[in-house]
Amino acid sequence: MSPRRCALERYTIRSKADLNQILGCEDIEGNIEISLFDEAILRLDDLIYIDGLLEIKDSSALVRIELPKLQEITGEFSLYELTSLGYLQAPKLNLVSKIQWRVLPILSTVDMAFEKLKKLTSILISDTSLSYIIGVSSPEMSTMNINNNRFLESLSAEVEEVTDMLHIGANGDHMNIDLPSLRRTQNLSIHNVEQLELGELKECKGSMSLDKNKFESVQLSKLTKVGGTLSLNNNMNLKNVQVDELDMVDGGLVLANNTHLHNIDFFELLSVIGGALELVGPIKEVKMPLLRLVRGSAKVKSSDEKFSCSTWAKSSIRAVVRGGKNECVNSQSQNYVASTPTNPESKSTPLEKKVQQESLALRIANYVATIVASMMALVIGI
């Protein structure tokens, strides 16, 4: 017996009576839009295949959605403003193009296997009571946006590339993120996370923000390039950062108010910062041995009593900053502001003049020492 097929460009359902037009359909060609539905339970026993989208929204009476046989949705699966929904059942669903679930504040139980979903290109889950999202699997997605799920503690996904936006933030207090296969992403922002796995990430083509997290360590050992701004701000437990292969940040580099991050010595291969460099916090030491160009300004503001602006001013940083100013402020109220090649007419501060004089004296001494060494070598040769 062939499945019962139903076809219509759009099925609009607002009542139990409207629902009769698709009850008994196994294969539906067309979009299903359910809104203002006034029943507590929505159950479609026979539905197996939807060639189109399934949208259920603005139905405050709806408590349960049961789709026991549904296997495929070729379009989007959208749930929106279902303020009483607590249970979703779709155990056989194995294909869907997009998931858009928003404003489902008491949805806590989903009988659906994320790891079985094929061809998933985008996922947005916001404002739910879910405690975990496990096993999302897709080689490439355009968007992964998981936010404001106040009880969410765990997210794992086998995704290799996110072509537009990856955003995870404002979820549970002990959020654990596991993205072990992610290699490339466009824009990445991760906030309010306790544990983070991004060990295979090689490139972020846009901006990358890791702010207001609770983790102690960030392991980005394969990351080579950030196409926009890289920021690590307000991570109160952060003690260790591993970016062994990072050699270029096309935007700015900002590290601010990381309470336990004292030594900025982990950018061992970084050579170019395309924007500004800003370092703020209890900083004791800054080392970027291969840095040769900062296209924007540079600013360090340290609250550590041992940090010396004089040492900062004498470092190699003064030779690589090409835009704006090179500034330093420490806990002793020592203030250093230097002009850069783009500001040749700026007046030098007393500290800058001192540094310039000391630098000139050092260069002369090195030159004289070189001449003397050459003459001695010549005499010995004779």
At 251-261, the pLDDT tens digits run: 999 999 999 99
Q: Which long-range contacts (CB under 8 A, 24 or more apart) does 23-32 make?
A: 26/69, 27/3, 27/51, 28/52, 29/5, 30/6, 31/55, 31/75
Long-range contacts of 222-230 (CB under 8 A, 24+ apart): 224/248, 225/249, 225/250, 226/250, 226/251, 227/203, 227/251, 228/187, 228/204, 229/253, 229/254, 229/275, 230/204, 230/254
Q: What pLDDT was estimated at residue 3? A: 67
Q: Please write the tens of the pLDDT for every residue from 23-45.
A: 999 999 999 999 999 999 999 99
Check pLDDT > 80 for residue 362. Answer: no
Q: What is the pLDDT of residue 2?
A: 56
The residues, ordered by sequence, that sit 6+ positions from 14 with a Cβ below 8 Å of its Cβ are: 34, 35, 36, 37, 38
For the cut 70, the answer to whether the pLDDT of residue 373 exceeds it is no
Give the pLDDT band (50/70/90) at residue 336: confident
Contact 309, 336 (CB under 8 A): yes
| Average pLDDT rounded to a whole number, residues 81-104 | 98
- 288-305: per-residue pLDDT in tens? 999 999 999 999 999 998
Say if residue 37 is exposed, middle or buried (CB neighbours under 10 Å; 0-12, 13-18, 19+).
buried
**pLDDT the model gives residue 340:** 67
Q: With a cut of 90, say whether residue 263 has pLDDT above it.
A: yes
| Least-confidence region, from 33-42, 218-227, 343-352, 365-374 | 343-352
pLDDT of residue 364: 52
The least confident of 150-159, 227-236, 310-319 is: 310-319
Least confident interval from 42-46, 75-79, 329-333: 329-333
Residue 326: pLDDT over 80: yes
Q: Residue 344: which pLDDT band, with cuts at 50, 70 and 90?
A: very low
Number of other CB atoms surrounding residue 185 within 10 Å: 25
pLDDT of 318 reads 85
The answer to whether residue 153 scores a pLDDT higher than 50 is yes
Amino acid 381: pLDDT: 44
Q: How confident is the model at residue 323 (pLDDT cuts 50, 70, 90)?
A: confident
